Structure 1
Amino acid sequence: MIKEKHDKNLVVCILCSLVMVVAIFGTAVIKVNGAFTMFADFNAQQLPFATAVRNALAAKPFGQWV
């Protein structure tokens, strides 16, 4: 009985997630006439930060962020 309840909850969670994705991305796609574009500079911001975090965590005496 518990297994069936978990399975039902999983299905409900997945369906709710799909509805939210369609609502959010669907409106974005409709608003710009069929093209979903992201115009942020994620690579310019995220890659140097990720590299700095990796280097700080890989340093033997932990870096300043720990």
Structure 2
Amino acid sequence: MPVWEVLGKRKSGDEFELVGGIKAPDVEMALMLARETHFRHKEGVAYAVRRRGDHELHVGSYGGDVLG
């Protein structure tokens, strides 16, 4: 199963930074797991995942009003 890096922004002006990793079969599941495991307590304003070894960033659809 692919490993995905989880990235987050604490504040709106911040750059994405690595906050953890998860295993998921596809990008949709990776985004859902990232939100539920790393941002469920409003730890930031944006989140994204990137398959380990790739450069493409997949930004989550929930924004700061929901996350932070």
Q: Normalization by structure 1: what TM-score?
A: 0.23
Higher Cα Rg, which structure: 1
Q: Looking at both structures, which has the greater relative contact order when contacts are Cα pairs under 8 Å and sequence separation is at least 6?
A: 2
Higher helix share: 1
